[in-house]
Amino acid sequence: MTPRLDRLATLYVAGPLRKRLRPGGAAIPILMYHSISREPEASGSSYYQTCTAPETFAMQMEYLADNRYESISPGATADVLTGKRKDTNKEVVITFDDGFLDFYTAAFPVLQRFGFSATVYLPTASIGKERCSFKGKPCLTWGEVRELRNQGIEFGSHTVTHPQLHDLGRDTIKEEVTRSRQTLEQELGWPTGSFAYPYAFPEPDTDFKQRLRGMLQEAGYTNGVCTTIGRADCTSDVFFMERLPMNSGDDLALFRAKLDGAYDWLATPQYLAKKAKNWVSAHGA
Protein backbone atom coordinates (compact mmCIF):
# COMPACT_ATOMS: atom_id res chain seq x y z
CA MET A 1 0.00 0.00 0.00
CA THR A 2 1.29 3.46 -0.94
CA PRO A 3 2.08 5.57 2.15
CA ARG A 4 -0.55 8.23 2.76
CA LEU A 5 1.39 11.49 2.72
CA ASP A 6 -1.23 13.58 4.52
CA ARG A 7 -1.21 11.02 7.35
CA LEU A 8 2.59 11.01 7.65
CA ALA A 9 2.81 14.81 7.64
CA THR A 10 -0.01 15.09 10.19
CA LEU A 11 1.30 12.50 12.66
CA TYR A 12 5.02 13.19 12.43
CA VAL A 13 5.30 16.90 11.56
CA ALA A 14 2.13 18.91 12.18
CA GLY A 15 1.11 17.03 15.32
CA PRO A 16 4.42 17.41 17.20
CA LEU A 17 4.72 21.06 16.11
CA ARG A 18 1.22 21.82 17.32
CA LYS A 19 2.00 20.37 20.76
CA ARG A 20 5.00 22.69 21.06
CA LEU A 21 3.09 25.77 19.94
CA ARG A 22 0.03 24.93 22.06
CA PRO A 23 -2.51 27.08 20.18
CA GLY A 24 -5.49 28.23 22.24
CA GLY A 25 -9.11 29.12 21.63
CA ALA A 26 -12.22 27.08 21.10
CA ALA A 27 -12.16 24.87 18.01
CA ILE A 28 -14.83 22.29 17.23
CA PRO A 29 -14.23 19.32 14.91
CA ILE A 30 -17.03 18.83 12.37
CA LEU A 31 -16.65 15.36 10.91
CA MET A 32 -17.69 14.91 7.27
CA TYR A 33 -18.85 11.40 6.33
CA HIS A 34 -20.57 10.28 3.17
CA SER A 35 -21.12 6.53 2.80
CA ILE A 36 -20.67 3.95 5.57
CA SER A 37 -19.78 0.97 3.43
CA ARG A 38 -16.94 -1.16 2.07
CA GLU A 39 -17.73 -0.39 -1.55
CA PRO A 40 -14.72 0.04 -3.88
CA GLU A 41 -14.00 3.61 -4.89
CA ALA A 42 -12.90 5.13 -8.17
CA SER A 43 -10.10 7.19 -6.62
CA GLY A 44 -6.92 5.35 -5.77
CA SER A 45 -5.84 8.02 -3.28
CA SER A 46 -7.15 7.66 0.27
CA TYR A 47 -7.29 11.44 0.54
CA TYR A 48 -10.13 11.67 -1.99
CA GLN A 49 -12.16 8.66 -0.92
CA THR A 50 -15.56 9.08 0.74
CA CYS A 51 -16.51 5.61 1.99
CA THR A 52 -15.89 4.65 5.61
CA ALA A 53 -15.97 0.96 6.47
CA PRO A 54 -18.60 0.11 9.13
CA GLU A 55 -15.97 -1.28 11.52
CA THR A 56 -13.85 1.89 11.13
CA PHE A 57 -16.88 4.09 11.82
CA ALA A 58 -17.74 2.02 14.91
CA MET A 59 -14.16 2.33 16.17
CA GLN A 60 -14.28 6.10 15.76
CA MET A 61 -17.60 6.46 17.56
CA GLU A 62 -16.35 4.23 20.37
CA TYR A 63 -13.30 6.49 20.73
CA LEU A 64 -15.55 9.55 20.99
CA ALA A 65 -17.71 7.86 23.61
CA ASP A 66 -14.73 6.60 25.64
CA ASN A 67 -13.29 10.12 25.67
CA ARG A 68 -16.60 11.73 26.71
CA TYR A 69 -17.29 13.75 23.59
CA GLU A 70 -20.74 15.31 23.22
CA SER A 71 -22.28 15.44 19.76
CA ILE A 72 -23.86 18.80 18.94
CA SER A 73 -25.54 20.25 15.87
CA PRO A 74 -24.05 22.70 13.36
CA GLY A 75 -26.49 25.29 14.72
CA ALA A 76 -25.19 24.79 18.26
CA THR A 77 -21.64 25.05 16.90
CA ALA A 78 -22.44 28.40 15.31
CA ASP A 79 -23.78 29.52 18.70
CA VAL A 80 -20.51 28.51 20.39
CA LEU A 81 -18.44 30.36 17.82
CA THR A 82 -20.52 33.54 18.18
CA GLY A 83 -20.53 33.44 21.98
CA LYS A 84 -24.20 32.51 22.40
CA ARG A 85 -23.34 29.10 23.91
CA LYS A 86 -20.55 27.99 26.25
CA ASP A 87 -17.86 25.70 24.85
CA THR A 88 -17.14 22.51 26.84
CA ASN A 89 -13.95 21.56 24.90
CA LYS A 90 -15.36 18.08 24.33
CA GLU A 91 -17.82 18.79 21.53
CA VAL A 92 -17.94 17.19 18.11
CA VAL A 93 -20.30 17.54 15.16
CA ILE A 94 -21.06 14.42 13.12
CA THR A 95 -22.31 15.12 9.60
CA PHE A 96 -23.21 12.99 6.58
CA ASP A 97 -23.58 14.26 3.03
CA ASP A 98 -25.83 12.89 0.25
CA GLY A 99 -28.49 10.97 2.22
CA PHE A 100 -27.41 7.45 1.34
CA LEU A 101 -29.44 4.49 2.59
CA ASP A 102 -26.41 3.12 4.44
CA PHE A 103 -26.77 5.96 6.96
CA TYR A 104 -30.00 4.25 8.06
CA THR A 105 -28.68 0.68 7.90
CA ALA A 106 -25.04 1.05 9.00
CA ALA A 107 -24.41 4.43 10.69
CA PHE A 108 -27.56 5.06 12.71
CA PRO A 109 -27.40 1.83 14.79
CA VAL A 110 -23.81 2.71 15.79
CA LEU A 111 -24.77 6.27 16.68
CA GLN A 112 -27.61 4.93 18.83
CA ARG A 113 -25.30 2.46 20.56
CA PHE A 114 -22.95 5.23 21.68
CA GLY A 115 -25.58 7.90 22.32
CA PHE A 116 -24.67 10.29 19.50
CA SER A 117 -26.78 12.30 17.12
CA ALA A 118 -25.83 13.52 13.65
CA THR A 119 -26.85 15.90 10.89
CA VAL A 120 -27.56 14.49 7.43
CA TYR A 121 -27.49 16.82 4.42
CA LEU A 122 -29.94 15.80 1.68
CA PRO A 123 -29.94 16.60 -2.05
CA THR A 124 -33.73 16.66 -2.09
CA ALA A 125 -34.20 15.56 -5.73
CA SER A 126 -32.68 12.19 -4.73
CA ILE A 127 -35.06 11.63 -1.79
CA GLY A 128 -38.51 10.32 -2.70
CA LYS A 129 -41.49 8.35 -1.48
CA GLU A 130 -39.97 5.39 -3.33
CA ARG A 131 -36.27 4.50 -3.30
CA CYS A 132 -34.12 6.78 -5.49
CA SER A 133 -30.39 6.67 -6.10
CA PHE A 134 -27.56 9.19 -6.24
CA LYS A 135 -24.12 8.49 -7.70
CA GLY A 136 -25.28 4.91 -8.23
CA LYS A 137 -26.08 4.35 -4.56
CA PRO A 138 -29.54 3.94 -2.98
CA CYS A 139 -30.77 6.89 -0.93
CA LEU A 140 -33.11 7.33 2.00
CA THR A 141 -36.85 7.64 1.43
CA TRP A 142 -38.90 10.42 3.00
CA GLY A 143 -40.47 7.82 5.28
CA GLU A 144 -37.03 6.84 6.59
CA VAL A 145 -36.04 10.49 6.93
CA ARG A 146 -39.10 11.18 9.07
CA GLU A 147 -38.41 8.08 11.18
CA LEU A 148 -34.83 9.20 11.76
CA ARG A 149 -35.96 12.74 12.56
CA ASN A 150 -38.26 11.34 15.24
CA GLN A 151 -35.22 9.54 16.68
CA GLY A 152 -33.22 12.77 17.03
CA ILE A 153 -31.32 12.93 13.73
CA GLU A 154 -31.19 16.40 12.20
CA PHE A 155 -31.46 17.12 8.49
CA GLY A 156 -30.13 19.98 6.41
CA SER A 157 -30.05 21.05 2.79
CA HIS A 158 -27.50 19.83 0.28
CA THR A 159 -29.28 21.69 -2.55
CA VAL A 160 -31.85 20.08 -4.86
CA THR A 161 -29.66 18.45 -7.53
CA HIS A 162 -26.16 18.63 -5.95
CA PRO A 163 -24.54 20.95 -8.54
CA GLN A 164 -21.31 22.91 -8.27
CA LEU A 165 -23.01 26.19 -7.36
CA HIS A 166 -20.00 28.28 -8.33
CA ASP A 167 -20.63 27.42 -12.00
CA LEU A 168 -24.29 28.50 -11.99
CA GLY A 169 -26.16 31.76 -12.48
CA ARG A 170 -27.70 33.66 -9.59
CA ASP A 171 -31.29 32.60 -10.30
CA THR A 172 -30.37 28.91 -10.50
CA ILE A 173 -28.38 29.09 -7.27
CA LYS A 174 -31.29 30.78 -5.54
CA GLU A 175 -33.63 28.04 -6.76
CA GLU A 176 -31.30 25.30 -5.53
CA VAL A 177 -30.92 26.69 -2.00
CA THR A 178 -34.49 27.92 -1.58
CA ARG A 179 -36.46 24.98 -2.97
CA SER A 180 -34.39 22.38 -1.12
CA ARG A 181 -35.12 24.06 2.23
CA GLN A 182 -38.80 24.39 1.39
CA THR A 183 -39.02 20.70 0.48
CA LEU A 184 -37.34 19.63 3.70
CA GLU A 185 -39.68 21.71 5.84
CA GLN A 186 -42.75 20.49 3.94
CA GLU A 187 -41.75 16.83 4.29
CA LEU A 188 -40.60 17.01 7.92
CA GLY A 189 -42.84 19.70 9.37
CA TRP A 190 -39.75 21.03 11.10
CA PRO A 191 -37.57 24.13 10.60
CA THR A 192 -34.43 23.62 8.52
CA GLY A 193 -31.60 26.06 9.15
CA SER A 194 -28.41 24.33 8.04
CA PHE A 195 -26.84 24.08 4.56
CA ALA A 196 -23.92 22.04 3.19
CA TYR A 197 -22.08 23.21 0.09
CA PRO A 198 -21.66 20.44 -2.52
CA TYR A 199 -18.22 19.65 -4.00
CA ALA A 200 -15.03 21.63 -3.42
CA PHE A 201 -15.74 24.97 -1.79
CA PRO A 202 -14.36 27.95 -3.78
CA GLU A 203 -13.12 29.91 -0.76
CA PRO A 204 -10.65 32.08 -2.77
CA ASP A 205 -13.63 33.68 -4.56
CA THR A 206 -14.70 36.14 -1.87
CA ASP A 207 -17.28 37.84 -4.11
CA PHE A 208 -19.05 34.53 -4.72
CA LYS A 209 -18.99 33.71 -1.01
CA GLN A 210 -20.58 37.04 -0.18
CA ARG A 211 -23.32 36.56 -2.78
CA LEU A 212 -24.03 33.01 -1.65
CA ARG A 213 -24.13 34.01 2.03
CA GLY A 214 -26.71 36.64 1.18
CA MET A 215 -28.86 34.13 -0.71
CA LEU A 216 -28.65 31.63 2.15
CA GLN A 217 -29.71 34.27 4.66
CA GLU A 218 -32.54 35.38 2.39
CA ALA A 219 -33.70 31.75 2.06
CA GLY A 220 -33.88 31.41 5.86
CA TYR A 221 -30.69 29.51 6.71
CA THR A 222 -28.79 30.34 9.91
CA ASN A 223 -25.63 28.24 9.48
CA GLY A 224 -23.78 25.99 7.09
CA VAL A 225 -20.77 23.79 6.45
CA CYS A 226 -18.45 23.29 3.50
CA THR A 227 -15.53 21.12 2.39
CA THR A 228 -12.73 23.44 3.50
CA ILE A 229 -10.45 21.40 5.76
CA GLY A 230 -10.09 22.27 9.42
CA ARG A 231 -11.95 22.66 12.68
CA ALA A 232 -14.48 25.44 13.15
CA ASP A 233 -13.28 28.29 15.38
CA CYS A 234 -13.92 31.96 16.10
CA THR A 235 -12.49 32.95 12.70
CA SER A 236 -14.97 30.73 10.82
CA ASP A 237 -17.86 32.05 8.77
CA VAL A 238 -20.85 30.32 10.37
CA PHE A 239 -22.40 29.78 6.92
CA PHE A 240 -19.28 27.99 5.65
CA MET A 241 -17.81 26.20 8.67
CA GLU A 242 -14.82 23.98 8.00
CA ARG A 243 -15.03 20.18 8.22
CA LEU A 244 -12.72 17.19 8.55
CA PRO A 245 -13.10 14.63 5.72
CA MET A 246 -13.47 11.03 6.92
CA ASN A 247 -12.97 7.69 5.17
CA SER A 248 -11.70 4.15 5.74
CA GLY A 249 -8.10 5.38 5.74
CA ASP A 250 -8.61 7.19 9.05
CA ASP A 251 -7.13 4.80 11.58
CA LEU A 252 -7.33 5.65 15.26
CA ALA A 253 -4.07 7.63 15.28
CA LEU A 254 -5.14 9.84 12.38
CA PHE A 255 -8.68 10.17 13.73
CA ARG A 256 -7.35 11.38 17.07
CA ALA A 257 -4.99 13.80 15.32
CA LYS A 258 -7.87 15.27 13.32
CA LEU A 259 -9.90 15.83 16.47
CA ASP A 260 -6.93 17.53 18.15
CA GLY A 261 -6.26 19.94 15.27
CA ALA A 262 -3.15 18.37 13.78
CA TYR A 263 -4.88 17.98 10.39
CA ASP A 264 -5.80 21.66 10.12
CA TRP A 265 -2.49 22.44 8.37
CA LEU A 266 -3.94 21.07 5.13
CA ALA A 267 -6.24 24.09 4.80
CA THR A 268 -3.32 26.19 3.54
CA PRO A 269 -2.16 23.94 0.65
CA GLN A 270 -5.82 23.28 -0.17
CA TYR A 271 -6.45 27.03 -0.47
CA LEU A 272 -3.29 27.67 -2.49
CA ALA A 273 -4.11 24.84 -4.89
CA LYS A 274 -7.56 26.29 -5.54
CA LYS A 275 -6.12 29.78 -6.01
CA ALA A 276 -3.56 28.44 -8.50
CA LYS A 277 -6.28 26.57 -10.39
CA ASN A 278 -8.34 29.75 -10.61
CA TRP A 279 -5.33 31.69 -11.94
CA VAL A 280 -4.64 29.08 -14.60
CA SER A 281 -8.30 29.06 -15.58
CA ALA A 282 -8.36 32.85 -15.87
CA HIS A 283 -5.04 33.26 -17.75
CA GLY A 284 -4.85 30.02 -19.70
CA ALA A 285 -2.45 27.12 -19.20
The answer as to whether 242 is a domain residue is yes
Taking phi over 0 as left and psi of -120 to 50 as alpha, with beta for the rest, 169 belongs to: beta
CB 21 within 8 A of CB 234: no
The answer as to whether 20 is a domain residue is no
The answer as to whether 185 is a domain residue is yes
pLDDT given for residue 20 in this prediction:
59
The answer as to whether 209 is a domain residue is yes
The answer as to whether 73 is a domain residue is yes
The answer as to whether 179 is a domain residue is yes
Strand residue runs (E) in the chain: 27-28, 30-33, 35-36, 51-52, 70-71, 91-97, 119-122, 133-134, 137-138, 154-157, 194-196, 223-229, 232-233, 241-245
Q: Which of 33, 77, 32, 31 is nearest to 193 (CA)?
A: 77
The answer as to whether 49 is a domain residue is yes
The answer as to whether 78 is a domain residue is yes
CATH classification of the domain holding 181:
3.20.20.370
- Per-residue pLDDT for the chain (285 aa), expressed as one digit of tens each? 456 888 888 888 877 777 656 555 679 999 999 999 998 777 666 777 899 999 999 999 999 999 999 999 999 999 999 999 888 779 999 999 999 999 999 999 999 999 999 999 999 999 999 999 999 999 999 999 999 999 999 999 999 999 999 999 999 999 999 999 999 999 999 999 999 999 999 999 999 999 999 999 999 999 999 999 999 999 999 999 999 999 999 999 999 999 999 999 999 988 898 888 877 766 665
| Residue 37, domain extent | 5-15+25-283
Give the β-pairing of 35-36 and 194-196: unpaired
pLDDT given for residue 14 in this prediction:
74
- Collapsed DSSP state (helix, strand, coil) of residue 38: coil
Count of structural domains within the chain: 1
pLDDT given for residue 1 in this prediction:
43
